[in-house]
A and B are shown apart, each in its own frame.
Chain A
Amino acid sequence: MSMVRTDALSHDYLIYEDEESDQGTPVRALSEVTIDIREGEFVSILGHNGSGKSTLAKHLNALLLPTEGTVWIEGMDTKDDDKLWDIRQRAGMIFQNPDNQIIASVVEEDVAFGPENMGVPTQEIWDRVNSALERTGMTAYREHSPNRLSGGQKQRVAIAGVLAMQPKCIIMDEPTAMLDPVGRKEVLAAVHQLNRELGITVILITHYMEEVIDSDRLFVMNKGRVVMSGTPKELFARVEEFEELGLAVPQITMLGYELKKAGLDLPDAILTREEMTEALCRLR
């Protein structure tokens, strides 16, 4: 079943350069994006800064509405006012800056923020908070102040906060951009686990290529359009195209590509070092 679907989605931002007039100049941030993400999929969206990927993310939670085209979350049109809170509950959102999305001064109270807004009864809020903290491994920190947590832990609190709303889908807008490598691993492990164990659809927006290797599917964006889509294997075989788009492939993939170019008979798109070792052994 389709979890997230967009049909010819376009979005214009208005830029007010002329201080005299109130008339803004429209700038196209998304143009005719048509994607279909199935329930339970782990999808990553790649693209350089300004490629439109964050704008797309905001459409999937009805934080932005289409200038043209349509977005459906579980069949609900984001333009339908009556469905707004259903959509936001079902498609949770994690943002880049961990500090700017934690509202409460105590971890567990922050996790409760979503359910509180949804009008969930008190006892059930506790159940949801307990299980969300458990799932993200943050139970030990439930009474801590977010200010004393590491970046990775703060993002896990944010994930727990979304989880407590019992979403079907989590959209993550560069959740690891401000984290160190340890925090990055923490956050990725947490979402992969949610995807695997709870079947939650994950849409991960990032520009760290290493993070997308385990995705079911990738979309690459450029200038507001989806320019490539496929499995990581399919896409990482197209090294030159990636480079033209200002993106890089993972280091191992790059090495495989270089070796192949130099004449070694290697398969396309080697993603992990295990694959590489195996391929080289076969050549011996």
Chain B
Amino acid sequence: MSITLENVGFVYGAGSVYEKTALKDVNLTIEDGEFVGIIGHTGSGKSTLIQLFNALMQPTTGKVYYQGKDIWGPGYNRRELRFHVGLVFQYPEHQLFETDVMSDVCFGPKNQGLSKEECEHQASLALSAVGIGEDYYKKSPFELSGGEKRRVCIAGVLAMNPDVLIMDEPTAGLDPAGRDEILDLISRMHKNRGITVVLVSHSMEDVARYVERLIVMNDGEKAYDGTPREVFRNYEELEKIGLSAPQVTYLMHDLKAKGFDVDEDASTVEEAKTSILKVFGMTDSSGES
């Protein structure tokens, strides 16, 4: 019962000519230890949603609870909450500001009120978790490559030791190698640390491969909520709201239509391969898992 949203609505510029409803009546619970993906096209309300999780935005209606407590209730320490619910935004350029990598990652822990030694300890743990070695500590964050900047930003939030890690499109603009690197990293942290992960993404392929649960946002409402396989079963409806299932899901449906007895819900290359091989009476001999 980590994060709970109860009948949450959000309106931008309420009362003005530009009034725009971003969320309407959203009910949602993200349990401790889950790995959740949030998908939706631009303007579907997904960015607003994640900013409600760590109180960067206040819902216009409804309630947000963290560990059972109303985060907008009287006396609730919302700054403290942000140390528990870490949020990494899309563009590293918006976060990095210090002269070297180490100091930048120390910013969060410093705000928590830790001593210099503790800060550096936390920071080096976080940096090693994202695969940034000591030789980078004194480098300027602005000299790094796109993927490295992204990792330093994640470390900057990890260093606060959050229980929940929310990431807004952590792979946008990265090349395939950089993309896999970041996603593997996130998935590893989820497994090793048991940290709750919320991943906002445009890429169905990425989400299908990693998350356990997928929430689809459309027009400010929760359109689907289930395992990726369950959600992608609605591939035709997803198409209508400007999204699409992974390519292999389409393929599996095409094959089914042609009379192949394949698993229509397969959404990753692995799953599709196993299912197709089975139809042809073969087993996966490559030995990969």
Q: In the bound complex, how far is the Cα of B186 from the Cα of A276, in angstroms?
A: 32
Given contacts A181-B243, A182-B41, contact A255 B250 (CB under 8 A): no
How many angstroms between the C-alpha atoms of A276 and B250 in the bound complex?
A: 11
B55 at the interface (CB under 8 A from A): no
A252 at the interface (CB under 8 A from B): yes
A261–B285 CA distance with the chains assembled, in angstroms: 9
Q: Within 8 Å of chain A (Cβ to Cβ): is B133? A: no
Once A207-B175, A246-B175, A263-B285 are accepted as A-B contacts, the answer to whether A182 and B277 lie under 8 Å apart by CB is no
Asked if B247 contacts A250 (CB within 8 A), the reply is yes
Q: Which of B145, B246, B247, B277 contacts A264 (CB 8 A)?
A: B277
Residues of chain B within 8 A of A1, CB atoms compared: none
Most chain B C-beta atoms within 10 Å of own C-beta, residue among A47, A255, A276: A255
Closest chain B residue to A183 by CB distance? B42
CB distance from B206 to the nearest CB of A (A): 11
Query: In the assembled complex, which residues on chain A have CB atoms less than 8 Å from the CB atom of B276?
Result: 255, 259, 264, 280
Shortest A20–chain B CB gap in Å is 18
Cα–Cα distance between A258 and B172 once the two chains are bound (Å)? 27
A198 interface hit (Cβ, 8 Å): no
* Distance between A152 CB and nearest chain B CB, rounded to angstroms: 9
Q: Does B258 contact A (CB under 8 A)?
A: yes
CA distance A250 to B203 in the complex (A): 13
Within 8 A of B (CB), among A243-284: 246-248, 250-252, 254-255, 258-259, 261-264, 273-274, 276-277, 280-281, 283-284
Q: Is the CB of B258 within 8 A of A252?
A: no
Which chain B positions have C-beta within 8 A of A262? Answer: 273, 277, 282, 284-286
Q: Roughly how many angstroms separate A178 CA and B203 CA in the complex, as a whole number?
A: 13
With both chains docked as a complex, state the minimum distance between the C-beta of B167 and any C-beta of chain A, in angstroms. Answer: 16
Q: Contact between A50 and B145 (Cβ–Cβ < 8 Å)?
A: yes
Docked pose: A246 CA to B174 CA in angstroms: 11
Contact check, B258 vs A277: say whether CB atoms are below 8 A apart. Answer: yes
Kindly state whether residue B162 has any CB partner on chain A within 8 Å. no
A181 cross-chain contacts in B, Cβ below 8 A: 41, 202-203, 242-244
Q: Are A251 and B202 in contact (CB under 8 A)?
A: no
Q: How far is the CA of A151 from the CA of B173 in the complex (A)?
A: 14
Tell me, in angstroms, the Cα distance from A283 to B174 when the chains sit together: 38
CB atoms of A255 and B282 under 8 A apart: no
With contact pairs A255-B248, A262-B284 given, residues A48 and B41 touching in the complex (Cβ less than 8 Å): no
Q: How many A-B residue pairs have CB under 8 A?
A: 97
- Nearest-neighbour CB distance to chain B for A240, whole angstroms, equals 14
CB-CB under 8 A from A150, the residues of chain B are 42-43
Chain B residue numbers with a CB within 8 Å of A283 are 280
Tell me the count of chain A residues lying within 8 A, CB to CB, of chain B: 37
Q: Is the CB of B173 within 8 A of A177?
A: yes
Tally of B interface residues using CB under 8 Å? 39
Which residues from chain B contact A255 at a C-beta distance below 8 Å? 248, 251, 269, 272-273, 276
Q: Is the interface of A mostly helix, strand, loop or mixed?
A: helix
The answer to whether B254 has its CB under 8 Å from any CB of chain A is: yes
Report how far A250 CA is from B255 CA in the complex, Å: 18
Q: Report B37-48 CB contacts with A as 1/0, cut-off 8 Å.
A: 000011100000
- With A and B bound together, what is the CA distance between A182 and B272 in angstroms? 25
Asked if B178 CB lies within 8 Å of chain A CBs, one says yes
Q: Does B147 contact A (CB under 8 A)?
A: yes
- B248 contacts which chain A residues (CB < 8 A)? 251-252, 255
Tell me how far the C-beta of A141 lies from the nearest C-beta in chain B, rounded to whole angstroms.
16
B174 contacts which chain A residues (CB < 8 A)? 49
A229 CB, nearest partner CB in chain B, Å: 19
* B97 touches A (CB below 8 Å): no
Given A182-B41, A281-B258: A254 and B146 within 8 A (CB)? no
B145, B146, B260: the one within 8 Å of A280 (CB): B260
Cα-based distance from A177 to B178 in the complex (angstroms): 14
Say yes or no for A99: interface residue by CB 8 A criterion: no
Out of A247, A259, A274, A281, which one reaches B273, CB within 8 Å? A259
Check: A68 CB closer than 8 A to any chain B CB: no
Question: When the two chains form their complex, are residues A248 and B176 in contact, meaning their CB atoms are under 8 A apart?
Answer: yes
Q: How far is the CB of B205 from chain A (nearest CB, A)?
A: 6
B147, A49: Cβ atoms closer than 8 Å:
yes
Once A259-B276, A277-B254 are accepted as A-B contacts, the answer to whether A251 and B247 lie under 8 Å apart by CB is: yes
19 A-B interface contacts by CB (under 8 A): A49-B146, A49-B147, A49-B174, A150-B42, A151-B42, A207-B176, A209-B176, A246-B177, A246-B178, A247-B177, A250-B247, A251-B246, A252-B251, A255-B272, A258-B269, A264-B280, A280-B255, A280-B258, A280-B260
Given contacts A49-B175, A250-B247, 18 further A-B contacts (CB under 8 A): A48-B177, A177-B172, A181-B242, A181-B243, A183-B42, A207-B175, A207-B176, A247-B175, A248-B180, A251-B205, A252-B248, A255-B276, A259-B277, A264-B277, A276-B251, A277-B254, A277-B255, A280-B255
